[in-house]
A = this chain, B = another copy of it.
Amino acid sequence: MAALRGGTRAVEGRFQANGGGGGMAPSSRLLAAHREAKPRSNHSAAPWKLPRRRAGTMPLWRVAVFASVALNVATLALLLHHYATSPPPPHNHHDTGLTLSSDAVHRRARTASSMAPSTGKPAVTPDSVINLDHGDPTMFEAFWRETGDAAELVIPGWQTMSYFSDVTNVCWFLEPELDRQVRRLHRVVGNAAVDGYHVLVGTGSTQLFMAALYALAPDSSSSAAGGDAGDEPISVVSTAPYYSSYPAVTDFLRSGLFRWAGDADTFKGDSYIELVCSPNNPDGTIREAVLDSKTSNGKTVHDLAYYWPQYTPITKRAAHDIMLFTVSKSTGHAGTRIGWALVKDRAIARKMTKFVELNTIGVSKDSQMRAAKVLAAVSDGYERRPEQTKETMTTHPPPPPRLFDFGRRKMVERWSMLRAAAAASGIFSLPEETSGFCNFTKETAATNPAFAWLRCDREDVEDCAGFLRGHKILTRSGAQFGADARYVRVSMLDRDDAFDIFVNRLSSLK
């Protein structure tokens, strides 16, 4: 890699000497040089003015020829360099049918040499502490390294500077392109109804979870008037084991509007908000509401973050009042912090929008555009351009990679490895595998949850998380999910190297 970078730099140096290039190094310096080579010379002839550009044709021709020669030299250097080196693809040890394209290698090398984005948790070695406490979905990086430009986003400096995206929409800060791509992907996958629904965007689905509590709680609209209302906060419940964030997020501000009330199975009362996570975090079960909202004053929020074909067969098109989704778990883009809600009722959609307005005055448009691009790339993999027009008509390019195929292959492989490791160890048990007919893939498929709900069966181990921590494996204790501490939740979505070390280490525990 060092050699590759060195080589790439040499090419960059050549471009800069020719075309100039000031300010901060852009992410894609080589491309920037291409872009700038042409107008730059015009600038020196007639800085900051258009009219002078029309003074004659010869200088323009010269610029074009100059750019062409520069491209030739650079292309040659790049290609010859590739001929001489062959870096191995990192973080992709398993045979999942994907290898790094030279495009991806190039782009990485170029990016690394300019602004340095973070790379997530540090790389691991066989002796490392392996942190599988969070559902950090870096498993998907390997897929997106393959997609090339299809999922690459370019944001000019002046783009989407306004607070407003669409003043005619209930969710006035939602980018119309994200709205379109969300609806398109749900239609492609068939996992949720979108017709007649409002699409709302949030900073991750966590923000929309809070927005839903705010919108469903009585009297939230008059809350700004003062905090002395005599009303009791509404009870928020979910069947145990429930996602550990539900109680934490519900209660951390001690809201007078809503309050965590624990396990839905044991809840007594008439007024409540029931959270239904399906497939369920942490145990992967398919869930339905246990409280009957028809005979009570209850409301239901469906958290469908994991209802995607890589994790579970798509058995029906969900059509609940409020459904939450997120790119974190669907495409793996957790760092992008984009979630969306499908909401039937307009008044609820308005209140949820109001929450996001008061909380963060909308949602990053950069990330909305990136999410739109990524979702579009996923849909493209399964549906070749339904809105094809004369302008977008092309010859036959290679088919775009298919996210859910990649995801399912990885999850099947990882669950198989994990079950083998648990069996080899002899002291762990896992939920039984279930399966169903998937309307999306048109075949019977097993559930392969994003988390393993692992139980330590050794009599003397009452705190499984503590036991695993002793072996440098970080997981989340069942106690945090309203369940037995003999259970832990383990992320199945980390990078290959971390997952490999985890299963190897697990299999050796006796």
Contacts and interface: CB of A to CB of B under 8 A. Distances in A.
Given A28-B154, A71-B68, A22 B336 contact: no
B20 A120 contact: no
Contacts of A86: 50-51, 54
Given A31-B154, A115-B373, A395-B16, A120 B164 contact: yes
A118 B24 CA distance: 26
Most buried by B among A20, A68, A75: A75
A393 B53 CA distance: 29
B100 A50 contact: yes
A39 B102 contact: yes
Interface stretch (A243-251, A312-320, A434-442): A243-251
A9 B336 CA distance: 31
A397 B102 contact: no
A298 interface: no
- Nearest first, the 10 A-B pairs at minimum CB distance are A120-B162, A151-B157, A22-B397, A254-B256, A23-B150, A144-B158, A20-B397, A64-B75, A364-B364, A27-B154
B149 A163 contact: no
A106 B68 CA distance: 19
A444 interface: no
A34 interface: yes
Nearest to A354: B252
A403 to B, nearest CB: 11
A336 B366 CA distance: 6
A395 B24 CA distance: 14
Interface in A233-271: 233, 245, 247-249, 251-257, 259
A372 B42 contact: no
21 contacts: A16-B393, A20-B397, A27-B155, A28-B154, A36-B149, A43-B398, A50-B100, A50-B102, A68-B68, A111-B154, A116-B176, A117-B369, A120-B162, A136-B162, A144-B161, A202-B360, A206-B360, A223-B252, A224-B251, A249-B358, A366-B370
A399 B160 contact: no
Contacts of A23: 147, 149-150, 376-377, 380, 385, 397, 400
Contacts of A42: 102
Given A22-B398, A26-B152, A177 B116 contact: yes
A280 interface: no
Contact of A377 (B65, B113, B152, B157): B157
A167 interface: yes
B152 A204 contact: no
B83 A167 contact: no
Contacts of A67: 71, 75
Most buried by B among A20, A202, A224: A224
A165 B118 contact: yes
Interface stretch (A301-309, A327-335, A461-469, A500-508): A327-335
B83 A64 contact: no
Contacts of A32: 149, 152
B248 A203 contact: no
Copies in the complex: 2
A229 interface: yes
A359 B398 contact: no
Given A68-B71, A251-B223, A12 B377 contact: no
A210 B50 CA distance: 47
Nearest to A75: B64
Interface string A362-396: 11111101101110110010001100000111111
B224 A26 contact: no
A1 interface: no
Contact of A255 (B253, B358, B398): B253
Contacts of A104: 156, 158
A152 B176 CA distance: 22
A339 to B, nearest CB: 9
Interface in A16-71: 16-17, 20-28, 31-32, 34-36, 38-40, 42-44, 47-51, 53-54, 57, 60-61, 63-65, 67-68, 71
Contacts of A120: 160-165
Nearest to A8: B391
A331 to B, nearest CB: 9
A165 B108 CA distance: 17
A363 B98 CA distance: 31
A233 B253 CA distance: 11
A489 interface: no
A294 interface: no
Given A79-B64, A134-B163, A394-B22, A101 B43 contact: yes
A499 B28 CA distance: 37
A165 to B, nearest CB: 4
A239 B258 CA distance: 31
